[in-house]
Amino acid sequence: MKVTINGAEREFSGDQSMPILWFLRDELQMTGTKFGCGKALCGACTVHLDGQPTRACVTPMAAANGRSITTIEGLDGSVGEALKGAWKALNVPQCGYCQSGQLMQAASLLNDNPSPEDADIDQAMAGNICRCGTYPRIRAAIKMAAEGKS
C-alpha cells in the first residue's frame, strides 16, 4: 500500500493492522509523534490524516492507504509556523512530551476556526492531556498564533 507522509510517498507492505504510530516511529524513525496511553485518550500521538486530527496509536495502517499523513515533523505553513513561534515565545512546554500532539491538535483547530474563543480552544483541546498542566500557556499560545502575533 502507499501512503503520503509529510508530502513524500511511502510504501508499506507490513501488517495493515499495525498502528500508524509504530510505522512512523519504528520503521521511518520519525520520533516526533509520541506514544502516550495507547488507547487514544491522551492525544500525545495526534497526527493529521487527510487534514483531520487522528490518534496514531489506535489507527491502523489500513486506514491510511492512499491517504495523506502529516506529523509534527511536517507541520508547516502559516498556521504551523505561527503556532511554533507562539509556543516558543510563551515557553509553552515544561517536560514537552505531549507538545507534538498539542501542536497538531491546535493546528487543526486554527485551520477550522482561525479566530477561536476560549471555549472553542478548550473544547478542541480537551482530548489532549498535559501532565505538567501547561493548559493556560497552551491556550495563550493558540490565541497568539490566531492573532498573528508570534
Domains of the chain (ranges; CATH) run 2-73 (3.10.20.30), 75-147 (1.10.150.120)
What are the beta bridge partners of residue 47? Answer: 54
What average pLDDT score do residues 100-127 get? 97
Chain mean pLDDT for the chain: 96
Q: What is the pLDDT of residue 148?
A: 86
Tens-digit pLDDT profile for residues 41-55: 999 999 999 999 999
- Can you read off the three cell numbers belonging to residue 53? 486530527
Determine contact, residues 5/25, Cβ cutoff 8 Å.
no
Determine contact, residues 11/1, Cβ cutoff 8 Å.
yes
CA 39, distance to chain mean position in Å, is: 16
What average pLDDT score do residues 107-121 get? 97
Q: Label residue 9 exposed, middle or buried (CB < 10 Å: 0-12, 13-18, 19+).
A: exposed
The answer on pLDDT for 150 being more than 60 is no
How far apart CA 145 and CA 140 sit, in angstroms, is 9
